[in-house]
Structure 1
Amino acid sequence: MEPVTRAVAAARLGLGTALRDRVSGESASQRAAEIWGADGERWFTSDDVIWQVHGDAAMFIGGIRALLLQSLHPLAMAGVAGHSGYKSDPWGRLERTSHFIAMTTMGPIGAAEATIEKVRAIHRRVRGRAPDGRPYRADDPDLLRWVHVAEAHSFVTTYQAFGPRRLTDAELDIYCDQAAHAGELLGATEVPHTWGELVETLDGYRPVLMATPAAKEAARFVLLEPPLPLSQRPGYALLAAGAVATLPVWAREMLDLPRFPGFDGLIGRPLGRFGTSVSRWAITAPELAETRQVRPSVAQ
């Protein structure tokens, strides 16, 4: 192998490993074995739309977008601010969320059900009052539906914008139907099963959404103050720009985010596309791909 080729391969593996460890934590290899290497029947296979969406690098942007969108529900934001430790342990929260999504999409059914029950147990203990005095609880079916809808809408939107291909209308409905499974097991009710229902449900929440001081503070933290070394911030900025560019205009207006003419087409989306392409190139390094192979006999 030529020196330049070796250097490129080493850089690819290094970046891919850094991204994997940032999302999955120090136990990334162990978690990979639990999700992809363990025996057992899965709910979905690599041929399913949900597996393709959740397994793509566009999820990096989708996760940022989902956090921004979710912050606009004042009760959901109060719960996050009061109980999640998103500032003191942001990577821990990201690790737990990514593990939940990966396990319920690609892991053995038994392990996925155990993961869901663990989250339900945590939700039962999370309750309090928002700054305006209203009570909230994390196992509220309406809040669970909001979190689910914001995530599903974000994951699909960013996949359509930055993924390797665009989903067809039929695939959009299939994704929503497949994603609804985990949401319902978590305790959400009236979960949308088609793309049209998902868009309608998201729009239905708009009367209760607002940019509270906590929401704006969270947006600043997520977009401008990520706990990253200076050397890694330019790469993160590419993903953050893509997240902002794909948010609905009304959400950007509420959070005071860029919405000037030309931002989406000339800045946000091109930067997001480039950041996603580099991330996809890195996380699909052959050495990393080997850890994400499901045993053929158990994924039928």
Structure 2
Amino acid sequence: MRRLRESLGRSLFARVAGPEGPANRALIHETPGPRWFTPDRPIRAVHGDAAMFVGGLRALLLQSLHPLAMAAVAGHSGYRGDPWGRLQRTSTFLAATTFGTEEHARAAVERVRAIHGRVRGRTEDGIPYRASDPHLLAWVHVAEVDSFLRAYQRYGAGHLDAAAADGYVADAARIATALGVVDPPTTRAALAERLAAYRPELRGTEAARDTARFLLLTPPLPLAARPPYAVLAASAVALLPSWARGPLRLPYLPLVERTGVTIAGHGLVRTIRWAMTAPPGPAGTP
């Protein structure tokens, strides 16, 4: 059982963190120095939990509903040609800003800001976009924060009370401000208001629906990984608000979601958490 746990943990970690994962993990967690967030901060609980697998997928689906964000992703992110590379870069950024030293966090932010500065273009309708646009950055941010928090509250190892949940939103706002978001929300109420304010701008474009099909139905995975991924996908969809499903043509099955999907999602996330928190193996293994 120990070997199974270690093998599964290494496989999952390699997918999420990439070949540089062990080195990055050691650098981020073991380098001494002041950090943006102390160990007792809610952001550490949320971003360090296996529920992020569900929250991350939910965030991508929600973000795709903004035509400008979707155009930037489709035109510049390479999510189809290198989806695992994109996941690894995102996970490394989250790890560096959440757990790394202030120096690591600032360096991670500067790398992302440099990338955003180069991402610009026009939608098929001729509307210009810039990834560095504070309004667009804010949409990506609030979609992520809402998704990560909801996933943790449903599938996380713990549960944040009202004050801690607001604390998580405030923690995430510090990273958002560094990335260029203007006045990010710092409470759940403000987060809900900001999400609602974006609703008139959102719609289900063909690119968004194509992305949803790719993420949910045809990700580049070996056959053995497809059944658990199907549970992950169903869990992410079940967390979406009803207003987001129609534009993406995703079904709403409340009875199935409240019972089968929720139970299966808890089982999957617990298994991921069990595997990725395996005790250290022999020297030299991650």
**TM-score normalized by the length of structure 1:** 0.92
Work out the CA distance in 1 between the residues paired with 2:101 and 2:115. 21
1:14 and 2:13 matched: no
1:127-167 deviation digits (Å, cap 9, x = unpaired): 00011110000000001000000000000000011012221
- Given the alignment, which residue of 149, 164, 174 partners 2:142? 149
Could you tell me whether the CA contact under 8 Å between 1:16 and 1:285 is conserved in 2? Answer: yes
SS at match of 2:121: strand
The equivalent of 1:4 in structure 2 is: none
1:107 and 2:86 matched: no
1:246 and 2:239 matched: yes
Deviation at 1:235, TM superposition (A): 1.4
The equivalent of 2:133 in structure 1 is: 140
1:131 and 2:133 matched: no
The equivalent of 2:25 in structure 1 is: 32
Deviation at 1:266, TM superposition (A): 2.2
Q: Which amino acid aligns with 1:89?
A: D
1:262-284 deviation digits (Å, cap 9, x = unpaired): 13212322221111011011111
- Over the aligned positions, Cα root-mean-square deviation in angstroms equals 1.3
- The range that moved more, 62-71 or 259-268, is 259-268
Could you tell me whether the CA contact under 8 Å between 1:150 and 1:202 is conserved in 2? Answer: yes
Work out the CA distance in 2 between the residues paired with 1:67 and 1:107. 24
- Given the alignment, which residue of 222, 227, 236 partners 1:229? 222
Work out the CA distance in 1 between the residues paired with 2:39 and 2:53. 19
- Given the alignment, which residue of 61, 76, 101 partners 1:68? 61
Deviation at 1:111, TM superposition (A): 1.2
1:150-190 deviation digits (Å, cap 9, x = unpaired): 00000000001101222111111110101000101000112
Q: Which amino acid aligns with 2:253?
A: F
Work out the CA distance in 2 between the residues paired with 1:80 and 1:269. 30
The equivalent of 1:77 in structure 2 is: 70
Could you tell me whether the CA contact under 8 Å between 1:65 and 1:244 is conserved in 2? Answer: yes
- Given the alignment, which residue of 145, 159, 165 partners 2:158? 165
- The range that moved more, 230-239 or 211-220, is 230-239
Unaligned runs of 5+ residues in structure 1 are 1-7, 292-300
Count of aligned pairs: 283
1:281 and 2:262 matched: no
The equivalent of 2:34 in structure 1 is: 41
SS at match of 2:234: helix
The equivalent of 1:257 in structure 2 is: 250
Unaligned runs of 5+ residues in structure 2 are none
Identity of aligned residues (%): 53
Moved over 4 A (4+): none
1:236-294 deviation digits (Å, cap 9, x = unpaired): 11111110111101111211112023132123222211110110111110117x99xxx
Q: Which amino acid aligns with 2:39?
A: S
